[in-house]
Amino acid sequence: MKCYKSRWILTSTGEVLENKAIVVDEGKFVDIIPNEDASKFEEKYVKDLGNAVVVPGFIDLFTQYQYTDVGLSRPHGVKNRLKKFFQTIAKNYTFAGVRPDNYSRKWADILSAYFVLDRSEKIKSFKEGLESAIKAGTTCIAQVSKEDKYFEIINKAPIKNYMFFEVFADSSDKSKKKFKALRDKVENYVFHKGENTHIGIMLHSISGVHKKLWELFSKYCRKHNMLLMTRFAEAQDEMEWLEHGFSDVDLLHKFMGFRKITPYKRTESPVEYLDDLKVLTKKVIVANANYLDEAELQKLADTGVKFVYQPLYSDEICNKKLDFATVLKFFDKNFGFSSQSFKTEKEYSLLKIAVESNKSAHLDVVELLKYLTIYPAKILRLEHITGTIEVGKDADFNVFKLEDGEDYHAILGKHFPYSTYSKGRKIVKRGDIRFTL
């Protein structure tokens, strides 16, 4: 049993505790006591954090750490260099005349750079992203990938995680085959996952998934009480594809080796498109919605879906993002943040991303923190074990050191914690990782 004394504790329940101590035993919060009562513990089990703020660990609602080194690593070996050469030719041929800032062209660039990495380089890329996020205070992630090797890594990681297995399909027949293969994989992993790991399904996007696969997996997820995630109305290419039946996204599919996918019906409303398929429910998480107007955002919110706000990714790749005040208006208490970015110098601090976003909304620090902690915990249905500092929950928390004269509001300018704990285990101290992936 250990006791951590601090000047401030922000519990994410709405309370601001001053001069209190958290008591941790076997990885869980077992008590919150006045600092002076810590004297009842043996001195070696008491840690005086001093002028510090303790907050719950942060939760990232959409990560793809496999892309961490994209644009940084050059392919090694003759085979990979040849692969890059031929992919560059294919990409330039496929996207001839398409502007470099086009959404589909940007994703072609990303995938082209990723595909030429070998297995060891991809694993290194993934681990670097995961470690960087943990250094920034992230103690729970929702990782999106179709590759098993990343499941093996996060399944052993010391933090909570959701693995959303990603799937595409360009025809009814492929939908059935992909559904059966992924269903069998998921049901196998359910019996082999660790206690920190949870599993969901990621249907890539409206334009990347055939109608049949939407039907199969939405039914499957409802039956098995499983979370389903998708990218949603994030790009102009997707909106044009829905309305006209074609767009530059067809070039991306061609580059990736898919056949042309067409909408099952033409519409200007992506909300209507998926709602007609009975996809949109309270167990569905949608990311971005950058190209919806306010009427469509209201329709989307009314379905009860949960929302992922990706301000960096939307700016960089989608050429448009929702204003934070707009997100609050339609998804109040029903969304969380993602740190996904493709810049060379990536930002992993969810706190910094939230602070920058909050300039248009001016939430106070207590309320803003909830969008990094308890609200995403509820979205991932993990609020019974994490997201707040409460007796009985796992001891996932961050410690931010303060300067003389500073109070808890100062964490808005700190961005990186002094130390991070997961289930009571110190996994980061002074920016150094204290575990091995």
320 in a structural domain: no
Element (H, E) at 265: none
> Which pair of tokens denotes residue 433?
């990782």
How far apart are the C-alpha atoms of 360 and 299, rounded to whole Å?
23
336 in a structural domain: no
159 in a structural domain: no
CB neighbour class for 166 (10 Å; exposed up to 12, middle 13-18, buried from 19): buried
Please spell the DSSP secondary structure of 61-105, one letter per residue. Answer: EEE-GGGTTTTTPPP-HHHHHHHHHHHHHHHHHHTTT--TT-HHH
For residue 191, give the 3-state DSSP assignment: coil
Please spell the DSSP secondary structure of 305-346, one letter per residue. Answer: -EEEE-HHHIIIIIS----HHHHHHHHTTSEEE-----SSS-
404 in a structural domain: yes
Q: What is the pLDDT of residue 247?
A: 96
414 in a structural domain: yes
- In 3D, which of 344, 316, 312 has the Cα closest to residue 71? 344
Q: What is the pLDDT of residue 105?
A: 96
DSSP 416: S
Q: What is the pLDDT of residue 313?
A: 98
Phi, psi of 84 (to 5 degrees): -65, -40
CB neighbour class for 120 (10 Å; exposed up to 12, middle 13-18, buried from 19): exposed
CA 32 to chain centre: 30
Domain range enclosing 32: 2-56+387-433
Tell me how many domains the chain contains.
1
416 in a structural domain: yes
How far apart are the C-alpha atoms of 278 and 283, rounded to whole Å?
12
What number of other Cβ atoms are within 10 A of residue 351's Cβ?
26
* Angle, CA of 286, 289 and 295, to the nearest 5°: 115
Determine contact, residues 287/335, Cβ cutoff 8 Å: no
Q: What is the pLDDT of residue 91?
A: 85
Q: What is the pLDDT of residue 116?
A: 85
Q: What is the pLDDT of residue 89?
A: 77
How far apart are the C-alpha atoms of 406 and 409, rounded to whole Å?
8
How far apart are the C-alpha atoms of 196 and 7, rounded to whole Å?
30
Q: What is the pLDDT of residue 72?
A: 79
CB neighbour class for 345 (10 Å; exposed up to 12, middle 13-18, buried from 19): exposed
Supply the CATH number for residue 411's domain: 2.30.40.10
How far apart are the C-alpha atoms of 5 and 53, rounded to whole Å?
10
Please spell the DSSP secondary structure of 215-256, one letter per residue. Answer: HHHHHHHHHTT--EEEEES-SHHHHHHHHHS--THHHHHHHH
CA 186 to chain centre: 20
pLDDT in 10s for each residue of the chain, 437 residues:
999 999 999 999 999 999 999 999 999 999 999 999 999 999 999 999 999 999 999 999 999 999 999 877 666 666 666 666 667 777 887 899 999 999 999 999 999 899 888 899 999 999 999 999 999 999 999 999 999 999 999 999 999 999 999 999 999 999 999 999 999 999 999 988 999 999 999 999 999 999 999 999 999 999 999 999 999 999 999 999 999 999 999 999 999 999 889 999 999 999 999 999 999 999 999 999 999 999 999 999 999 999 999 999 999 999 999 999 999 999 999 999 999 999 989 999 999 999 999 998 999 999 999 999 999 999 999 999 999 999 999 999 999 999 999 999 999 999 999 999 999 999 999 999 999 99
280 in a structural domain: no
> Which pair of tokens denotes residue 368?
């803003």
- In 3D, which of 170, 184, 202, 155 has the Cα closest to residue 338? 202
**pTM (2 decimals)?**
0.96
31 in a structural domain: yes
